[in-house]
Homo-oligomer: A and B are copies of this chain.
């Protein structure tokens, strides 16, 4: 992506329009500074209208047209939405849900990841697509499938699950041990007896559920790899991506990102969410961390989406603000779903860069401005990197282990906790990377663990080594509880972690009801959770609970540079705590005295300032800079208007 410019454009589904509209599209794309479109995402039925047929002529014309217009093409394999004939002729390609219900065609993504038939058809169409466009000058990137996100509990998936389990465990004994099947009389005497975790009378085996999620991520990854390898064979130097859904639970995003050349994500914060910008920042930070560098915003909405209760449009300026936020946080591509808003079909109320109101519409007018500005700053920003002093640890396997029934509290949701901790850092103006718990953490001064219920031995070693190597660690509750098989560690929490934090005995968890809080010394109030902990006497600092059954017991413990927080502090308290710990670890915001609601991020040598408020705000910026967006010199301070942005170069 890093050719000195930021990719700007979106999904383009021209099958919906008569060919004369394509020419108008090109005119408007040029007008808006669009330099990249994604073609072919939903083209399977058009490319292969009957089994084995190939209709490439229309796509040839489009590829040529794009090339003539100077617009690069991210070419998608069409495999996320099989044509109706697939299900009709091959019902085995249709997925089944937990209750045994078929997911029929008529929507999209109605394919079983484990279906041999589906995979065969998918490989064939990918092969022919890659062969045909391998040398096309418009081709800039491959986009495999779209938003992989399906489960399948059917019989062919069951067989694949068994194969996956055999690979993982080798013997039934090992599987029985890992799943703890001795409980509830679940011991398997035959591989054939193992099923996906289908509807059951009561709670399911947690190991089975956890492994089924691992398997599902891997089964989808197999689909991705098969298509990736085909296109790579034809175009070894063309990068390959697939677009993640933001913070989606179903894929092990660390594992997947390793297999991509470009990491891309779809991002749809609710314009009415007061924390929409923070949610965006989280997804952007995570995607950047998966990419280990610049990344691609594959989809966002120019206006409203169509799947919320009320689908709010973006107020004037918000699309620009959030687009530049993505750039600030490392994006080298700012794209949309979709170029021209549909007039028919399931997403006709999902906005487009060219909305129903057409080119006179406010939405398109704002798109034009964004395109122009990205072109303006592209040369300075594309390819540059961010450096974060903080890492937030995140792991899908731990999420999977906690996202089950039969847990201590259904009110504790992994993504909510992750968002709460990231929010505290964001509100403290601290830019954070995300990292896997087994990643090398030595580059960070502060490591934050919002919640990692499941930690492998290697991960625990890593954390201990990080702290003993001088790092500062802050851990939230429900961390280090289970090993990688979801087996509770002796003492209810890993003994070495308990030692690290100065915890002698973890007597009981005291989950809270929704809305309930617990008081702690110094005015800190906790939510969601509390714990009955007996300190070891080795702690250097504690903040005790005040009142209630836990009166006097430690809510927060610190031993050296290791902190344990046994509740979820209210937002302001968690922000203050993290700001204090970060400062102690030598991590500081990019500017002093930043007002609330202003986001400040350094990318390379550039300083991005983003005003998330609707009122103008003045920011002190020591020294002299040039604002790349306006060309104006900025000395000492600058004022950002409603949703205003400055991109300051020293």
Residues in B neighbouring A408, C-beta threshold 8 A: 304, 306, 310-311, 349
The answer to whether A379 has its CB under 8 Å from any CB of chain B is: no
Q: Judge whether B185 and A46 touch: CB under 8 Å.
A: yes
Interface 1/0 per residue, A180-209 and B, CB below 8 Å: 111111111110111101111111111110
Task: Give chain B residues whose Cβ lies under 8 Å from the Cβ of A509.
Answer: 304, 313
Report B-chain residues with C-beta under 8 Å of the C-beta of A197.
Answer: 106
Q: How far is the CA of A526 from the CA of B363 in the complex (A)?
A: 24
Chain B residue numbers with a CB within 8 Å of A190 are 84-85, 88
| Chain B neighbourhood of A360, CB < 8 A | 505
User: A347 near B: Cβ within 8 Å?
Assistant: yes
Chain B residues in 8 Å Cβ range of A615: none
Q: Within A220-237, which residues are at the interface with B (CB < 8 Å)?
A: none
Within 8 A of B (CB), among A365-410: 405-410
A274 at interface (Cβ–Cβ under 8 A)?
no
21 A–B contacts from the bound complex (CB under 8 Å):
A16-B182, A46-B187, A49-B189, A82-B185, A83-B187, A84-B190, A84-B194, A102-B199, A103-B199, A107-B200, A107-B204, A205-B346, A304-B509, A307-B405, A312-B510, A313-B510, A344-B485, A356-B506, A357-B506, A361-B505, A362-B508
Q: Closest B-chain residue to A187, C-beta based?
A: B45
A342 CB within 8 Å of chain B: yes
Partner of A206 from B87, B304, B344, B505 at Cβ < 8 Å = B344
Q: Which 8 A-B pairs have the closest CB atoms?
A: A180-B344, A356-B492, A107-B200, A183-B345, A203-B346, A45-B187, A313-B508, A81-B185
Interface flags, A536-560, vs B, CB<8A=1, else 0: 0000000000000100000000000
A258 at the interface (CB under 8 A from B): no
Question: Which of A476-518 touch B at CB < 8 Å?
Answer: 485-488, 490-492, 505-513
Which stretch (A93-101, A442-450, A621-629) binds chain B? A93-101
Instruction: For A95, list chain B residues within 8 Å (CB).
Output: 201
Given contacts A206-B344, A310-B409, A346-B183, contact A198 B510 (CB under 8 A): no
Most B CB contacts (10 A, CB to CB) among A200, A358, A505 go to: A200
Contact across chains for B507 and A205 when beta carbons are under 8 A apart: no
Contact B306 A183 (CB under 8 A): no
Q: Does A50 contact B (CB under 8 A)?
A: yes
A311 to B508, CA, bound (A): 11
Cβ-closest chain B residue relative to A507 = B362
* 18 additional contacts (CB under 8 A) given A46-B182, A183-B344, A356-B492: A13-B183, A42-B184, A42-B185, A103-B200, A106-B200, A106-B208, A109-B201, A180-B345, A186-B345, A206-B344, A303-B508, A306-B407, A309-B410, A309-B411, A313-B508, A313-B510, A313-B532, A346-B406
A44 contact set on B, CB distance < 8 A: 185
> Does A121 reach chain B (CB closer than 8 Å)?
no
Q: Most B CB atoms within 10 A — which of A49, A195, A405?
A: A195
Instruction: Check A185–B492 contact: CB distance below 8 A.
Output: no
Known contacts A184-B345, A361-B505: does B102 contact A100 (CB below 8 Å)?
A: yes
